[in-house]
Structure 1
Amino acid sequence: MTKILDVLERYYDAVPRVGGARGEDFGPLTLFVQEGDGWQYYARPALGGTRASAADVKRVLERQRELKVPESFEWVAETSPSLRAAAEAAGLEVHEHPLMVLDPAAGPLTPHPDVRLLGADDPLLTAAVTVPMLAFSAPGTARGEAGPAELATAMAAPAAEAGRARVSGKLAAGTTGLAAAVRDGVVLCAGQYNPVGEVAEIVGVGTLPAARRQGLAVGVTAALVADALERGANTVFLTAGDEDVARIYGRVGFRRVGTALIAEPPAA
């Protein structure tokens, strides 16, 4: 178990840098700051760093406020067990999420007929990056209200075009892969994976709330796993939103190896 967590620690330190972020050193913590437009990253334990205190966390929070970036910390509970107490002492709220790795013995699933990979110039790309936004605004696995009409409205917002441009560039550069479930020309579920060396993280798998409970997330995840393995990954992992979502990923062959923690200011 320790070996795989070490592999993930190196990935967590590398992936923001691959994504164009710079690392700012705060002793036992590293703050990743995006250069220019793009995904805003987090602070996390420095590789090989020492135990962080509440004062260390507060120093990073001050810098995040100065930069006007999200006040967010991410780490693995089993790797940095003392950071939770420091984050809570600094006034942050900590959320737990199952950390899961693909079992090497897991066999491939039968491809879902509605799922395919999308490229940088695919006309469905805007929809594919917008569906997860709607999904995460209504978390959980139960069916919800948002459907194709809400998707069309959301796609007209500036954030949708910005997301399309960002993901298109990453697809063209080979720093992400994207799969979507498409039915009658409508994207119902989509997700990505981000490879660094021989490690790939599945991220942002979300189903349009009105289309949940049809096995679409399993199909998209299976397609992402297959593509990541074909492109040379030997470790594929993800963070599940909760235990119910973790059970879905278990059907694709993922097993829990730890707990991912996210610390943020309490909701107002």
Structure 2
Amino acid sequence: MDLRIQRSVVSNLRTRPKPVEVGPFVAGLDPDTASPFVNYATPQPGATITAADVAALVEAFEQADRKPRLEYVISAAPQLESLLLAAGFTVEARHEYLICTPETLVLSRVPSDFVLEEPGTDGERAGMISAQMEAFGEAPEATEPAVAGVRRAQERGGIALAARTTEGVWAGGGQASAPQDGLSEVGGIAVREAFRRLGLGGTITAGVARLLFERGAEIAWLEAGGEDSWRVYERVGFRPAGKRLYISL
């Protein structure tokens, strides 16, 4: 499973607006945002990596005016971490990733007074993004590049699913990348504070996974940022499967 997940990450980064291949690395660079959580690199699984390769990757990030950062499945490049540490990188986090299949998925009831829908207009996309940003503690402003990014992802086969009240107030949302090799990463699951503890997080997660499976994906995967989200994801059928590393300069 580790190799499948890592290969899908590589393939997904190659669909970014400015993908860059540096030796054994693929970097997904976005000209519209400097966010390190959007601009990062990952190694091709099984590739031989040297200190010179790491130096070349750092230079590519610096030329693009982006912070050098990597995300990857640890077992796909077991010697890479020591090379990165020697180059001055610092570990941000080690997370277990979880996977879900059509057989393990547990659908969750949509709480009363709420609806789930795939945003079909830029106005709806902006509403979902604003709710997600507020939930993540950021200014609830949906920029044109962010809206265009969601639209492009949907056009490529990705999923966006928004939650709103029946009165039209945006409560949260979640997304998933277009499947690569039958796999898709689920992310951005977020619910505004005023609407938490109602089961919306699990409902959105299960809804995104259901849409992926209906459209041909074999496995949905994600990472939990804490014990609360871990429990939410396990309730809807996600199970631990491997470990990933986040590391930056």
**CA offset digits 1:71-128 (Å, max 9, x no partner):** 2111112222222222222222211122111145314314414241223316332121
* Structure 1 residue 211, shift from structure 2 partner: 2.5
SS for the counterpart of 1:233 is: coil
Q: 2:133: which partner in 1?
A: 133
**Do the aligned partners of 2:3 and 2:45 also contact (CA within 8 Å) in 1?**
no
Q: TM-score, normalised by structure 2?
A: 0.85
SS for the counterpart of 1:123 is: helix
**Do the aligned partners of 1:29 and 1:45 also contact (CA within 8 Å) in 2?**
yes
- 2:208 pairs, out of 224, 236, 251, with 224
SS for the counterpart of 1:189 is: strand
User: Aligned in 2, Cα 1:29/1:133: closer, same or farther, shift over 3 Å?
Assistant: same
User: Aligned in 2, Cα 1:25/1:162: closer, same or farther, shift over 3 Å?
Assistant: closer
| Aligned-partner residue type, residue 57 of structure 1 | V
Q: 1:75: which partner in 2?
A: 72
* Structure 1 residue 219, shift from structure 2 partner: 0.6
| Aligned-partner residue type, residue 179 of structure 1 | L
* Structure 1 residue 22, shift from structure 2 partner: 2.5
**Do the aligned partners of 1:111 and 1:222 also contact (CA within 8 Å) in 2?**
no
The separation in 1 between residues aligned to 2:183 and 2:25, in whole angstroms, is 23
Unaligned runs of 5+ in 2: none
User: Aligned in 2, Cα 1:110/1:44: closer, same or farther, shift over 3 Å?
Assistant: closer
Q: TM-score, normalised by structure 1?
A: 0.80
Unaligned runs of 5+ in 1: 139-152
| Aligned-partner residue type, residue 208 of structure 2 | L
Percent identical residues:
28
| Aligned-partner residue type, residue 175 of structure 1 | G
The separation in 2 between residues aligned to 1:136 and 1:259, in whole angstroms, is 23
User: Moved runs in structure 1, 4+ residues, more than 6 A?
Assistant: none
Count of residue pairs brought into register by the alignment: 241
**CA offset digits 1:160-193 (Å, max 9, x no partner):** 333112212332x143211122113111111101
- 1:99 pairs, out of 97, 100, 105, with 97
**Do the aligned partners of 2:224 and 2:230 also contact (CA within 8 Å) in 1?**
yes
